[in-house]
Structure 1
């Protein structure tokens, strides 16, 4: 099984929160009191469906087959003003960078960004009030109580944006998967045709002195991705959370390096203008096929407004220098 096949970044779940328990209409009785006043307790609230951030999770795979999530109902109130028990909450643990949306309206409800952060996805019904709440000076023995509120049933979507330090941006065949396989322990499927990478691959890149950073190979951008052409639109959102974007242009491109770089930039800008403000590094890949003369010529074509480096993943050329460059950019004060 490829590493990518376990990567799940989208799940749709039917969430049902618990009904609130009904309040009690009990009247106080004991061996000394035949007809006491109202002492019915409140019903317990139902169980919420809650989403909780977990920094140890990378994917939504564990929720893929959970189509229905049902929280517990609250219990009814009792005598002596005893409140009913609260219904059991259902807690869905998710990776950081998970967005919750309402499936029908598409509205974004919230985003989980912190470890241990909890948000209510589907709110439970409140418990009903017991009859002692309704006692007044002129109405001493109310024999009624409030019913509990119904819970809700709704379809929600959980979507994951990757929390990577470096996002690889380039057309298919730019050498992104090859670079990832060289600098990290990730084993992406590598082949020379468009959209080899159908799911993002994550790699932990070991750096000097035991430090590391996370690199994500995002499926190849194609022209028109920002309009949803191909698979582009769904994958572009993974780039939103990266702190540095590594643009990759192959040395054997049939455009100039500057042209290809500008096309990639334009795709990102159309998808989300904010991405343009992220730090960028440009790597010209497959440069082992260039002789010195050609290399000097191509260096003149490289855009001047972005740090750039010529690399070859296969020949291991410029890889350490690239890591240094990325580490510097990641740790710059934003």
Structure 2
């Protein structure tokens, strides 16, 4: 089964809570704070693995959750950092955030990694909060929560050569003849609904991967038919073998087919339209005269495109075609990818604070700084609460709320917590 799309939920580990503790030694009557920091939560990391071929495993498991960091301990002992959660995906996987549709990673090389949910940092122990005015702080930070999000995974087949052409022109028959692949072959349209890969071996040291891509129809660049599914899979092939039915057995003109498909390629991607194409004139055994072949040859000569007449049913012309394809690949110079660096996901830059109103009239404050502060504050500790109030004033949130029309006694919500506003 070939699966080229998947939807998964990832959640990184929260940071471990910091420790509030004090030195308790026999000859140290008033030992100072010695609470250690919490450990870092585990990241969720996708890694491209050439041994993984499809996204089928994600149909049965969609939830991926990294472990939290360990809690800090006394004697300034740090909590243990959690291991990253490693998720293997096929080479050629695109990763998008479902909510925004933003591209988070383009994993096109074996071993390439992308952090898609960053683990929370560990909370600081009470040792960090000692001051000349407060030598015995009783509070410590809670661990920072991890990130969570839904992801969409899309797989682009990676092959050296892509077979393109209208349905039923003989692409599957060609792949079956020159490799060990066994695509279904039948006399009806859209026999191939998923990409099929085959390894073409010419000798012990000469081989390449060829992909039979689902048939293309007019309007594919606009998503009609198999549309974008087809076009997505041929973006990374090195060269294209454009298969035409020179016999016109489907009552179509091979030159018109060639022009229509190239129009779709150029509409979808300029880079795709510039890929080297080798034209294969298939079904020569059905020709009643030389005229159709001569007409096609003249058309392609004017455009400096190589034409190879073949008969996929008998294998005629295929050995010469495969030899030429190998020669082209052997001298092929790879165009640099637009995204060649390892991708580490970064949160979108947002304003420090935003104020909105809930349906019940409560004021809602959002923003990474204040949400992180609320999540990491222990509101059951008086000293920790006073520290929160000091930072609140430093952030000038009262001024922001008054600007938005808050009044005495109104409710304020931040990161799941509710507060009552008093000036």
The TM-score with structure 1 as length reference comes to 0.93
- Residue 228 in 1 paired to residue 223 in 2? yes
- Secondary structure of the corresponding residue to residue 327 of structure 1: helix
- Residue 27 in 1 paired to residue 22 in 2? yes
- Residue 284 in 1 paired to residue 281 in 2? yes
- Residue 274 in 1 paired to residue 305 in 2? no
Aligned to 1:7, which of 2, 7, 18?
2
Aligned to 1:302, which of 300, 315, 322?
300
Q: Aligned runs of 1:61-210 on 2, under 5 Å?
A: 61-210=56-205
**Alignment check: 8 A CA contact 1:257 1:301 kept:** no
**Alignment check: 8 A CA contact 2:14 2:144 kept:** yes
Deviates more, 1:257-266 or 1:167-176: 257-266
- Secondary structure of the corresponding residue to residue 323 of structure 1: helix
Structure 1 runs not aligned, ≥5 long: 1-5
Per the TM alignment, residue 137 of structure 1 is displaced from its structure 2 partner at its CA by: 3.9
**Alignment check: 8 A CA contact 2:300 2:306 kept:** no
- Secondary structure of the corresponding residue to residue 19 of structure 2: coil
- Secondary structure of the corresponding residue to residue 135 of structure 2: coil
- Whichever of the two has the greater Rg, that structure is 2
2: CA distance, partners of 1:315 / 1:108: 45
**Alignment check: 8 A CA contact 1:279 1:329 kept:** no
Runs of 4 or more, structure 1, over 6 Å off, are none
**Alignment check: 8 A CA contact 2:35 2:76 kept:** yes
**Relative contact order: is structure 1 or structure 2 higher (C-alpha 8 Å, sep ≥ 6)?**
1
1: CA distance, partners of 2:49 / 2:78: 33
2: CA distance, partners of 1:195 / 1:179: 16
1: CA distance, partners of 2:306 / 2:135: 80
The TM-score with structure 2 as length reference comes to 0.74
Per the TM alignment, residue 193 of structure 1 is displaced from its structure 2 partner at its CA by: 1.8
Structure 2 runs not aligned, ≥5 long: 334-423
- Residue 262 in 1 paired to residue 255 in 2? no
